[in-house]
Amino acid sequence: MRVVAARFPDRQRASAALDALRRRLVLRADDAAIAPLGMPGFADVGDETLLAGRFANNRLELVRSTLTKAGGSVVADVDERCTRPRGAPDRRPQKSRRASDSQSKRSRQTQPIG
């Protein structure tokens, strides 16, 4: 799967491209969406819109041509695996301080007095 994003000059073109993709491909509701394209420090400037979605590798040519024919410019095309958060490094779980305190109390109680 690939994640592809395209920038459109306005919401109407992005919406038309999304509708066209939904007609041509089998997409779940959360596979593709549109959103206003914002820039830090510039609220509500222009009508630029981003369409982003996840698409099967064997449908990329159709996706790209649909996006560009609708007036979009592809700005991202990455492997879906690169969009997931990285996992924490593997390491042994540490005991909580409370668990280690109670364990040391138990070991003191069971030691013979000498």
CB 8 within 8 A of CB 24: no
pLDDT of 107 over the 80 cut: no
What confidence tens digit (pLDDT) does each residue in 35-81 have?
A: 998 776 666 667 899 999 999 999 999 999 999 999 999 999 998 88
Which domains does the chain carry? 2-83 (3.30.70.120)
DSSP type of residue 70 = T
Residue bearing the bigger pLDDT, 10 or 100: 10
pLDDT of residue 51: 97
pLDDT of 12 over the 80 cut: yes
Reading the block at residue 4, the tokens are: 């592809």
Residue with tokens 């138990």: 106
Residue bearing the bigger pLDDT, 64 or 88: 64
CB 66 within 8 A of CB 21: yes
Residue bearing the bigger pLDDT, 100 or 2: 2
